Chain A
Amino acid sequence: GENVEQHPSTLSVQEGDSAVIKCTYSDSASNYFPWYKQELGKGPQLIIDIRSNVGEKKDQRIAVTLNKTAKHFSLHITETQPEDSAVYFCAASKTSYDKVIFGPGTSLSVIP
């Protein structure tokens, strides 16, 4: 069935370094890829998203890249700060009402 894999499951970086989280999706019809950040005891919050007609998108220190051929997409966080510490989820979906398939999450720790 439809599946989204996410790596690594845990990631520790020094403050100021970059962090990269990679996801792979199985359904080639997927065309929308959001990334969520979940802080402890809170619900996931959208941080950036990308649509299949775009290869890269940036928003300040956060960027997402998409390789449709390989069915890969990645989240890049530059100049990491302690407040970036959280669990990050990638996701994929086909249409607005279609079921969203979430990756298992990456726990990011930024060490001051």
Chain B
Amino acid sequence: DGGITQSPKYLFRKEGQNVTLSCEQNLNHDAMYWYRQDPGQGLRLIYYSQIVNDFQKGDIAEGYSVSREKKESFPLTVTSAQKNPTAFYLCASLDGAVSNQPQHFGDGTRLSIL
């Protein structure tokens, strides 16, 4: 079945450490997104990419970095500069070639600090 796979499901970060969250999709979607969700909160956009080798900052990009070397993959790195990384991270993709389509979400990665 087509879908979005996020890994790992749980991740722990030590102080001063960078960690990378994986997001892979086999939906052949051009656009991919990363969101952060804090307990009881909505979704805040971190970064998004509309095409390979291009990406834009979202509302809360500080302390995060991304790459988009392949259409299927959009990894997110949480750097040591992100002082409050504990959250649920969601990846999504979108078929931008068709108007008014919904984003498809993965099942998230929960990141905690050790």
Contacts and interface: CB of A to CB of B under 8 A. Distances in A.
A42 interface: yes
B10 to A, nearest CB: 10
Contacts of B90: 43-44
Contacts, number: 58
Interface residues of A, number: 24
Interface string A33-45: 0101000011111
B50 A104 contact: no
A34 B103 CA distance: 9
A99 B106 contact: no
A81 interface: no
B66 to A, nearest CB: 16
Interface string A17-36: 00000000000000110101
A89 interface: yes
A41 B41 contact: no
Given A44-B105, A97-B31, A97-B96, 19 more contacts: A34-B102, A41-B108, A43-B107, A44-B43, A44-B90, A49-B100, A49-B102, A51-B100, A89-B43, A93-B100, A96-B100, A96-B101, A99-B58, A100-B103, A102-B42, A103-B42, A105-B41, A105-B42, A107-B40
- A-B pairs with the 10 shortest C-beta distances? A43-B105, A32-B100, A104-B42, A96-B96, A46-B102, A34-B102, A102-B43, A97-B96, A43-B107, A102-B42
Interface of A: 31-32, 34, 36, 41-46, 49, 51, 89, 93, 95-97, 99-100, 102-105, 107
26 contacts: A34-B102, A34-B103, A36-B105, A41-B107, A41-B108, A41-B110, A43-B4, A43-B90, A43-B92, A43-B105, A43-B106, A51-B100, A89-B43, A93-B100, A96-B31, A96-B94, A96-B96, A96-B99, A96-B101, A99-B45, A99-B48, A102-B43, A104-B41, A104-B42, A105-B41, A107-B40
